[in-house]
A and B are shown apart, each in its own frame.
Chain A
Amino acid sequence: MTSTATLDPLTTAQAWKQAGRDVAIATVVETWGSAPRPTGSHLVIDSDGNFEGSVSGGCVEGAVITEALDVIGSGAPRMLEFGVADETAWQVGLSCGGRIKVYVERLG
């Protein structure tokens, strides 16, 4: 297996689940403006907060992981929405101005 294959979030999710870990899959389902990751991008999370992949450039992953732990617990999927705009960037008029919607589901 190549190093890129081991970094593949969906392959990681399968391996984790098969190893008996509880797993959630987060997916970018909608973007507005210039979002850092395109729709379809995945972040996978286990119940210990380990993760692989990305749904943004690292801006919202922390929040998604927290929500994912709830989803793993309850089993109910959740839709999250984030503004990607950065305050400093707004002031100098360089904000990417994007927003993203992230769907989080438990791997059953």
Chain B
Amino acid sequence: MQLGLLKRLNAARASRQAAVVVSDLASGEVRLILEGEPVAGPLGDEVGKVFRSGKAVTVEVEGKNLFLNVHLPPPRIVVIGAVHISQALARMAPVAGYELTIIDPRTAFATEERFEGVELIADWPEDVLKDRPLDAYTALAAVTHDPKIDDFPLSEALRSGCFYVGALGSRKTHAKRVERLKALGRSEAEIARISAPIGLDIGAASPAEIALATLAQIVQAFRRRDIVSAR
């Protein structure tokens, strides 16, 4: 491996961009592939597989013995709304290996007491996301029910290609939301990516059950995402 390649790899990792390092184990040749770069042929298929699985593998491609090492940013969840569901989700997410941040400008909800040990930001999403942009390895769940708070981060999540975008609310609530997001410039295809009502359909009723259904849906979205062909 050359220093130049290592520098590019480390820069990608620092900016939360996924990368695969392909090493030819016979010749010592090394190649860096960043997520979204087109890779033709059977190598492209193998690269797509490791981006999805996150597991490094040795494969034989066109007679060459190649080692594919994958560097994925750690997945994280951003929750808009410091509500009852978020309290449960904040406890479950770390168990499943997800970092979690809660954003809610309503200081009555966003209290240290209700969210002990959780990263909680009591500010408007417009202001918070400026310094902490969303990305493809972030799941966004908007659960305030309040368009003033939810709409902007939902639009941002779609624009930045979050691997999961979920919004709490009935089908009727969501129909109105769809119109507002269109007014914010989001396309029908983008808006169709929103999971609403939020969570897998397991008949969840209590806040904790809705949190569980949401976390399961986030895991499903992460493990089944189609990065290489989608963009």
Contacts and interface: CB of A to CB of B under 8 A. Distances in A.
B170 interface: no
A10 B69 contact: no
Best-surrounded residue of B1, B10, B55 (most CB of chain A within 10 A):
B1
B2 A103 contact: no
B172 interface: no
A28 to B, nearest CB: 8
A72 interface: no
Contacts of A40: 55-56, 69-70
Interface in A1-33: 10-11, 13-14, 17-18, 25, 27-30
B138 interface: no
Contacts of A108: 1-3
A98 interface: no
B25 A103 contact: yes
Contact of B57 (A11, A13, A39, A76): A39
Interface in A65-108: 76-77, 79, 103, 105, 107-108
Given A76-B28, A105-B30, 11 more contacts: A10-B9, A14-B6, A17-B6, A25-B1, A27-B23, A29-B25, A39-B55, A39-B58, A40-B70, A79-B25, A108-B3
The 10 closest A-B CB pairs, nearest first, are: A40-B56, A39-B56, A77-B28, A40-B69, A108-B2, A29-B67, A17-B3, A14-B6, A14-B10, A30-B58
10 contacts: A10-B13, A11-B10, A14-B6, A18-B3, A27-B23, A39-B69, A40-B69, A76-B28, A103-B25, A107-B3
